[in-house]
Amino acid sequence: MRLTVSTWNINSVRLRIDLVRRFLDEAKPDVLCLQETKCPDDRFPLKELQGFGYPHIVFAGQKGYNGVAILSRLPLVTREVMSFCERQDARHISAVLGPEAGAAAGIAVHDFYVPAGGDVPDAKLNDKFAHKLSFMDELRAWGGRRPSGPAILVGDLNVAPLEHDVWSHKQLLDVVSHTPIETERLETLRGEAGWIDTMRHLRPPPEKIYTWWSYRSPDWAAADKGRRLDHIWVTPDLAGTVRSVTVARHARAWEKPSDHVPVTVELEL
């Protein structure tokens, strides 16, 4: 069985719902995980998204900020929302593929939106950066006690962990998302829990891979000053099933795009 799972920080699901439709029509993933939906639950466009051929949807949101959702062609069970740092701020949602999902049945999908961290990489001077580090510490603790079984972790983790995940390693060492304290934390929590970074599993360094390009760069394609902030990880029992990981770079050039682009993994179960 072929299973495809995509992740995309959409930067407002209602504002960019036509882009969601465009991507789903084009890529046809079995599962699409969204972050930064920026939509309270009572305004979430559930019926419109279901009309795109994804009848099974779980979501958690709030007004104006954050928000996560999982859209699936396959049945979902056991919706769960975890809170971190004693905040109910819609940064995680998970579901398990149901018994009718064939060989994919029982796989848990976790969708995360890690705090961006602001602009100053100093926890003493910047509460947003302190929050980000605390969130990552709690994510590390959760990974150490996560229930066993096959799982996929996706999302905008807001960290570009490796040297070749950014356009300039040296110039970004003191820029939030690529500072040593963030990159070491992310790689530590991933390694301790045994998660496999699917993108680097198939496409190791020194290949440059980016999933985000700043709105501040008017000619983003020519400058190509990107970062790999969006990730798809799998548990070791799924590592051998990973066949491809693709980055839909062209979506960054769509009209009124998100600054992130979709990332898709294909598993052969």
Binding-site residues from annotation for Mg(2+): 9, 36, 156, 158, 259-260
Q: Which of 231, 249, 255 is nearest to 7 (CA)?
A: 231
Tokens of 55: 């009848």
Determine the 3-state secondary structure of 23 from DSSP: helix
- Is 231 among the catalytic positions? no
Q: CB of 170 within 8 A of CB of 176?
A: no
Please tell me which residue in 30, 156, 197, 230 is annotated as part of the active site: 156
With the CA atoms of 58, 228, 262 and 47 taken in that order, what torsion angle do they form, in degrees rounded to the nearest 10? 30
- Is 260 among the catalytic positions? yes
- Rounded CA separation 268/19 (Å): 27
Please enumerate, by residue number, every residue annotated as part of a binding site: 9, 36, 156, 158, 259-260
- Rounded CA separation 238/104 (Å): 11
Q: CB of 111 within 8 A of CB of 92?
A: yes
Enumerate the β-bridge partners of residue 260: 212
- DSSP H or E segment with residue 233: strand 230-234
Please tell me which residue in 54, 113, 165, 197 is annotated as part of the active site: 113
- Is 219 among the catalytic positions? no
Listed in sequence order, the DSSP H helices in the chain are: 17-27, 46-50, 127-145, 180-193, 198-202, 220-223, 236-239
Say which amino acid occupies 193: A
Listed in sequence order, the DSSP H helices in 146-268 are: 180-193, 198-202, 220-223, 236-239
* Residues assigned a catalytic role: 113, 156, 260
